[in-house]
Structures are given as C-alpha cells and as structure tokens.
Amino acid sequence: MRLSVLDQAPISEGSTGAEALRNSVDLAQFVETLGYERYWVAEHHGTPALACASPEALIGSIGAKTSRMRVGSGGIMLPHYSPLRVAESFSMLSGLYPGRIDLAVGRAAGTDPTTTFALQRDRRQAAPDDFPAQLAELMAYLDDDMPADHPFARLTQLPGRPERPELWLLGSSAQSGIWAAELGLPYAFADFINPNGVEIMARYRKDCVETPRSMVAVWALCADTDEEARRLAASAKMMFTLFFRGQLIPIPPVEKALRFLEQQAESLDAIPYKRRTIVGSPTTVREGIENVAREYEAEEVMVVTITYDHGVRRRSYELIAEAFGVTQRESRPSP
C-alpha cells in the first residue's frame, strides 16, 4: 500500500495565510524525504482556516522544491474554470516537472454559494451545472483528440507537450464514481468527507472500462500516545464543529479548543453528521488506515491532517511513515 499526503494549507490562529503556504512547501519537502508517494494540495475559497485558493500556484512552488514525489491538485474545482485554462496550466506544470504532475478534478465548489458566485467571470446568472461537458472538453485537450470539426480543435497543442499531467477524478458521492468508471479514470474517494463510500468504490472497480486505479483519502493524526493524539486533534475538532454551524475560524490553539469542547460536550453529542477520523499512537493509526484501505480495496491511501502547530503536523506524518515502514529517500534538487 502506498501512502500520500493531501494538504489543505491550514491557517493557525495568530498566524497568516502566507505562513501557511510556506508551511505547505516545507511539509512537502519533509514528506518527500520520508518516502511518501505524492503530495496533493486542495482548493478552498473564502475561509480563514485554509490558505490554498490556487492549487496550481502552490504546485509550482512545491515542484521546484522537490525532486521525486508526484505533486498535484486535490483538487481543481472544475466548475469555476475554463477547461482550456486548466489544461494549459497543468500542461505547463508537466513541462516544468516531467512525469510528476497530477491533475485531480472535482465537481464541488469548495466554498459557499456567495463565494462561488464571486468567482464567476460572468455574473448575469448562475453558471450552468455542466460538469460532464467540462470534463469531456478537458480530456480532449489533454489527449489531443478534439474532433477535427470542433471549433476548439487547434487548441489542443498545449504548451508543455510532450509532457502531460495524470488525470484523476475526485469524489465523495456515487455520481463521481460512475463518471470515473465510464471514462476509465483513476478515482480518489474522500472518506474524510463521506465515510460511507465503500459501495461507491466497489461499483467503480466493477464497472471501470479501464483497469481501475483507486485511492482513498482519510483524516488522520498520529502522536506518541493515543491520549496525546486525541488532545492535539481538539484544534481541528473545534474548527469543524463551528464550520458545521456556519462559523469560520482559523485553527485554534489546543488548550482553547479543549476548553471549547468541554463546554460544548452535550451539544456535540447531538450533531447528526460526523466525519471519520483516525487519531492515536502509531499502532492505532496504522490499524485504522489499514482497515479503511481494506474496506475500499484501495491501492493507495492519502492522509490529510490539520493541527494548530506545524511541527506537530510534520511529526504526525513522520510517525505514520515509520509505522508503515515507508522507505526514506534522499531529496535531490530539481533541475
């Protein structure tokens, strides 16, 4: 089983988005030396908690500071963009970092309706829900197989050729799995958003028109002991609790989060929607990750972790790598 990283560029209380982005580059360099397979950065808008609003910008910086690991988007929220613009941007990244760029796309907005509308170039009306058409156009650019009579046929000569990104489809619902299977695309399921995706992944693997390639993304935090890991996880738990109430905050300090969770104990029990988290010592986290991978029959697990302290996040990924016996590799300067 391969291990990878999904980075949401968390912004800690009292810190800045700029510092969070620099932390992302630092973490990418660090986990490459630990032997992680790939490093994807998420797209989020309009929140004080997460800094990466432009994955391609951060991917470029990470690509320049790493040499072996695959780097990509987790993902590009395609409804916001022109497929040509996405194809050109990731073609350029592929030309700069050959054989290392992933383009994972999703249908979700990654933000609230107001911010979604603000991201539109044409605001006379809401953008159409035409994701399948967008995805088909994007694939035509990347594969250089736009029909000859199509008005955009000449635009498939992308700037980074002959290099190209590897296209993945992201999802947390049944429809995404159906599309991935029909198109023969590799599929990454966000278990940390929807922990009920086992049947969705099974259907994808059964119906995929090409050899299926699957990945599951899980939320995990590892520390030396179960007790310490649960304590450190309080920061993310407080942030997500308020998020589900419509309140957006940066990642709070651990002690502040512990006080909040203690005061809110009764109301937290009443929350109907709970995300799966894997929190504990190296033994606990390894067992939890292995169980999820087994459920999904996934060849690869992508781990997302949010902590208040950047050093704690680094240490969590280090402990997980050690627990799985991931081989450490030397990081070489990029050409």
How much is the pLDDT for 1?
Answer: 84
The answer to whether residue 332 scores a pLDDT higher than 50 is: no
Is residue 174 within 8 A of residue 168, CB to CB? The reply is no
Q: Which pLDDT score is estimated for 269?
A: 64
Average pLDDT over residues 91-108: 96
Cα angle 10, 217, 80; round to 5: 65
pLDDT tens digit sequence for 269-298: 656 557 899 999 999 999 999 999 999 999
CA–CA distance from 163 to each of 69, 86, 89, 166 (Å)?
A: 16, 15, 12, 10
Q: Tell me the H-state helices in 97-130.
A: 113-119
Return the structure tokens found at 248.
Answer: 């957006």
CA distance 19 to 17: 5
The CA distance from 120 to 125, in Å, is 9
CA distance 57 to 48: 19
* Tens-digit pLDDT profile for residues 148-207: 999 999 999 999 999 999 999 999 999 999 999 999 999 999 999 999 999 999 999 999
The one-letter code for the residue type at 162 is P
- pLDDT of residue 21 exceeding 50: yes
pLDDT in tens, 139-148: 999 999 999 9
Place 333 in a pLDDT band, splitting at 50, 70 and 90: very low
**pLDDT at position 59 over 60:** yes
Domains of the chain: 2-228+276-324 (3.20.20.30)
Taking the C-alpha atoms of residue 41 and residue 54, their distance in angstroms, rounded to an integer, is: 9
pTM for the model: 0.93
